[in-house]
Structure 1
Amino acid sequence: MPLYNDQAVVLRNWKLGEADKIISLYGVEHGKIRAVAKGVRKTKTKFGARLEPISYLKIQCWEGSSELHIVSQVESIELFPRIKSDLELLRKGLAIVEVIEELI
């Protein structure tokens, strides 16, 4: 299971079990990435809020044996607070990432 680093935009996320999420990202070097972020739904998570759609991140992942990779580290590059605090901008931004998710 090789380890890799990339910069990526979060496109979407889904709940997985009680504490985990599946994250869909678009990375600069790796293109579309689907990864499991373990424990991010717990109250004392180390990177939960950073994994919301329209966040630009520096990520470190383990390449899994299936199509799901495993997120091991996340560092925020840009969280776009202006977009997330304006309902109209947020609606447009989410529509854009939804189109990207469907096209790639």
Structure 2
Amino acid sequence: MRENFRDRALVIRTYDFGEADRIIVLLTRNHGLVRGVAKGVRRAKSRFGSRLQLFVNLDVQLYPGRNLYTIAQADTVDYFGARIIEDYERYTAACAALESAERLAAADAPGDPYLYEACVDVLNQLQHGDPLLLLDAFLLKSMSHAGWAPSLFDCAQCQRPGPHHAFHPAVGGAACHQCRPPGAAEVDPETLHHMWLIAHGHPSQPTHAQAQEAHRLTRAHLQWHLERSVGALGIMEQ
């Protein structure tokens, strides 16, 4: 039987429900992905005010219902949207990070705070940093935590030392000339080196072409493992 709980939570997504309610998708620190209904939140005098919106970090109290939790109390801890919503690239990167986190959290074990803390960290860094590099670093680290880290130097199939010039998600990342599958992307080894650096928290200064190529590879690797697309990621390439 589910029990009521209090936790820190990021608002990941919202959608209207009924006449005046709204369903809030929350990524919590200790309880994984939770869907809760905020009753009456769309009324002008709602007690929740504007707290239940994207990019808000909450201290939230939830009570279990038949299918959804009910949000009984929500207090703002941090709001990351002030600088994000006024910049298109930051906004798109933040949305892509949250959408990816929602997909990753579906398979994440409740009680593991990694994704919540990673999202808080990337939203905070997006206030000032390079949106594309921060997003890709977040995705690569999150995939590594999930056990999906791409091989970025040695061949993912035979472990032949790199650097290599091919990449394919189906084989696990970099591929040597013997293991290279049909349809593998031809890549600059410096792009893979850049991906390795940001995946391990090191600074990197890629060229524009390398940053764009790294994003395409990161996106392809994530979506291959998720077995579905992440819409906001495609917008970053446009």
Taking structure 1 as the reference length, what is the TM-score of the superposition?
0.90
Structure 1 letter corresponding to 2:20: A
**In 2, Cα distance between the equivalents of 1:33 and 1:48?**
20
Within 5 A, what are the aligned runs for 1:72-83?
A: 72-80=72-80, 81-83=82-84
Alignment size in residue pairs: 103
Residue in structure 2 matched with residue 71 of structure 1 by the alignment: 71
Partner of 2:28: 27
Is residue 2:16 matched to residue 1:15?
A: yes
SS in 1 for 2:85: helix
Q: In the alignment, is residue 87 of structure 1 matched against residue 88 of structure 2?
A: yes
**Alignment match, 1:4:** 5
* Separation of aligned partners in 2, 1:29 and 1:65: 21
Cα drift, residue 45 of structure 1: 1.0
Which secondary structure does the structure 2 equivalent of 1:82 belong to? helix
Over 6 Å off, 4+ runs: none
Task: Name structure 1 gaps, 5 residues minimum.
Answer: none
For residue 30 of structure 1, report the CA deviation from its aligned partner: 0.7
Point out the structure with the larger strand share: 1
The amino acid that maps onto 2:50 is: A
How far is 1:53 from its partner? 1.5
Cα shift readout 1:17-47 (whole Å, capped 9, x = no counterpart): 1210011011011111000000001111111
Counterpart CA distance in 1 for 2:104 and 2:27 is: 11
- Quick one: which amino acid aligns to residue 94 of structure 2? G
Q: Structure 1 vs Structure 2: percent identity of aligned residues?
A: 38
Give the root-mean-square deviation of aligned CA atoms. 1.4
What's the TM-score once normalised by structure 2's chain length?
Answer: 0.41
Rg comparison, structure with higher value: 2
Structure that is richer in helix per residue: 2
The CA distance in 1 between the partners of 2:23 and 2:9, in whole Å, is: 15
Q: Distance in 1 between matches of 2:47 and 2:39?
A: 10
Q: Which runs of 5+ in 2 are unaligned?
A: 106-238
Correspondence list, 1:24-63, <5 A = 24-63=25-64
